[in-house]
Amino acid sequence: MRHGVKRHIPNDAVAITRARHAELMTAESAGGRIVASPKAGKPMIEWPADTITTSRALLLARIKRETARRIDAVSPAWRQLDDLREPSEGAARVSAIDAIRQASNAIETQLGDFESDEVYSFAIVDNPHWPIFEEYD
């Protein structure tokens, strides 16, 4: 009869190191699934086929959020509406917003150039395509 923690371990379980266990937990939290290898039954990670596609979609959403944040720093929505009525100072802000949108489009295009693990280290906030505006940053 098993007692304590051991009673929750299946009879066909295989021993793994603490380091391997940590690797498996990290991979599982990143979207992988722990499965038994077909030959030895040792735990391994099975990655969903759409992991890269999903990661790109998440990055695209982050790019859109960063774009919105930068635009809001230049001119919040209420000010943009005022700028439509009074284009004097608004013209500079509208020009800045256009530059941010162009940068966003260029950054989104970069996503198509990446393969596998490169998408996980993709720079969004620090991307060199973003224009620099001393008066808004």
Which two tokens mark 8? Answer: 């929750």
User: What integer pLDDT is reported at residue 79 of this predicted model?
Assistant: 87
Q: Enumerate the domain spans of the chain.
A: 4-46, 51-121
Contact 90, 42 (CB under 8 A): no
- pTM of the complete model beyond 0.75: no
How far is 74 from 79, CA to CA, in rounded Å? 9
pLDDT digits (tens, 9 = 90+) for 4-18: 556 677 777 888 899
Residue 130: CB atoms within 10 Å: 20
Q: If you average pLDDT over residues 47-59, what whole number do you get?
A: 76
User: What integer pLDDT is reported at residue 14 of this predicted model?
Assistant: 86
Residue with more model confidence, 105 or 2: 105
Helix (H) or strand (E) holding 34: strand 33-36
